[in-house]
């Protein structure tokens, strides 16, 4: 049980680090939202599953799964609302300048 939870937590940490690099490096709002919503959700999933495995089969593990379901509902909703507001406010998506 301990080895599985360590593997899950390390995989989640990897995806969270990738998301943080994406937030710093990507060029505009519309591409940064991919890093914040998609990669971040996967990292949170793996890390919380790892903690739930560490807790074992108990009430706490079920509560952690409830928080995970809440995260999976709220993260795409927030990103969708923000990106829709950005699009309606008149921001243009980033394009590479073709020579």
Partner 1 sequence: MKIFLLCVLVALAFLIGAYLYRVLQGPTIFDRVLGLSGISTKAIILLIVIGAYFERVDIFVDISTGYALLNLMGALAVAKYLEQKGLP
Chain positions contacting partner 1, by CB under 8 A? 2, 6, 9, 13, 16-17, 19-21, 23-24, 29, 32-33, 36, 40, 44, 47-48, 51, 54-55, 59-60, 63-64, 66-67, 70-71, 74-75, 77-79, 81-86, 88-91
At its nearest, how many Å lie between partner 1 and the CB of residue 57? 13
Query: Smallest gap, in angstroms, from Cβ of residue 44 to partner 1?
Result: 6
Distance CA 61, CA 51 (A): 8
Local structure of 24: helix, strand or coil: helix
CA angle 80, 73, 81 (to 5 degrees): 15
Helix intervals (H) in 1-99: 2-25, 29-34, 40-55, 59-88
Cβ proximity to partner 1, 2 vs 99, nearer residue: 2
């Amino acid at each position: 049980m301990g080895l599985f939870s360590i593997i899950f937590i390390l995989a989640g940490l990897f995806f969270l680090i990738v998301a943080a690099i994406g937030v710093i490096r990507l060029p505009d709002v519309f591409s940064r939202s991919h890093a914040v919503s998609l990669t971040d959700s996967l990292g949170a999933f793996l890390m919380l599953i790892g903690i739930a495995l560490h807790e074992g089969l108990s009430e706490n593990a079920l509560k952690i799964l409830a928080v995970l379901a809440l995260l999976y509902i709220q993260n795409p909703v927030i990103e969708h609302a923000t990106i829709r507001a950005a699009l309606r406010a008149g921001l243009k998506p980033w394009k590479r300048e073709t020579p």
